[in-house]
Amino acid sequence: MVQSYDAVTAWRAAGEAGDAAGAVAALSPDVTLVSPITERFTFQGHRQVRTLLDVALAVIDDLTYTDQVAEARTVALFYEARIGTTRLYEAQRLRLGDDGLIHHITLYVRPLPALTLLMTRLGPDLARRNGQPGLARLIPLASGMLHSMATTGEQRIMPRAAPR
């Protein structure tokens, strides 16, 4: 039997269009999405993944998928985007279920300043939507410090260690 990638095509189109509802339509009802921040942070099912996509697609601009590699029921997607002026590159490992829908998603983001900025921008809104307003106020402080350190390291420290 030939594997259909219709759900992946729909996922890509919805992501590029900023359409959270369209993206969720490509997902299995019991989908699991593993955060790029920590593997202990997962989103389960349509409702939780939709909340994440609503927040993420509101802060990520110019999302453009560049590559797709597939073997059987596993697909690797790669995109480029921006958060403000910060470039973001993401790899997504998608695993398809028996029904052809996306059943499992693991996200990987680079460079580190893009990941820390994403955490700073997404965290407060996700915490508020989960009924944790105190945490929503704390996240920008903690993640803001991480973002500052990551940005300083990338822009000022690591270039000095670059190959010559």
What's the CATH number where 80 sits?
3.10.450.50
Give yes or no for residue 152 having a pLDDT over 80. Answer: yes
CB atoms within 10 A of CB 65: 18
Q: Which residues pair with 71 in a beta bridge?
A: 74
Complete DSSP assignment for 88-102: EEEEEEEEE-TTSSE
d(CA 71, CA 124): 37
Nearest to 81 by CA among 107, 49, 46, 43: 107
Tokens of 98: 């028996």
The more confident residue out of 116 and 1 is: 116
- Same domain, yes or no: 124 and 102: no
- Same domain, yes or no: 70 and 140: no
Give yes or no for residue 30 having a pLDDT over 70. Answer: yes
d(CA 72, CA 117): 34
- Same domain, yes or no: 102 and 142: no
Q: Which domain holds residue 153?
A: 111-157
- Same domain, yes or no: 28 and 102: yes
The more confident residue out of 101 and 3 is: 101
What are the tens digits of pLDDT across the range 97-151?
A: 999 999 999 999 999 999 999 999 999 999 999 999 999 999 888 888 888 888 8
d(CA 71, CA 108): 19
The pTM of this model reads 0.89
What is the spatial order of strands in the sheet that 74-83 belongs to? Answer: 42-44, 27-34, 102-110, 86-96, 74-83, 61-71
- Same domain, yes or no: 123 and 104: no
Within-domain flag for 163 = no
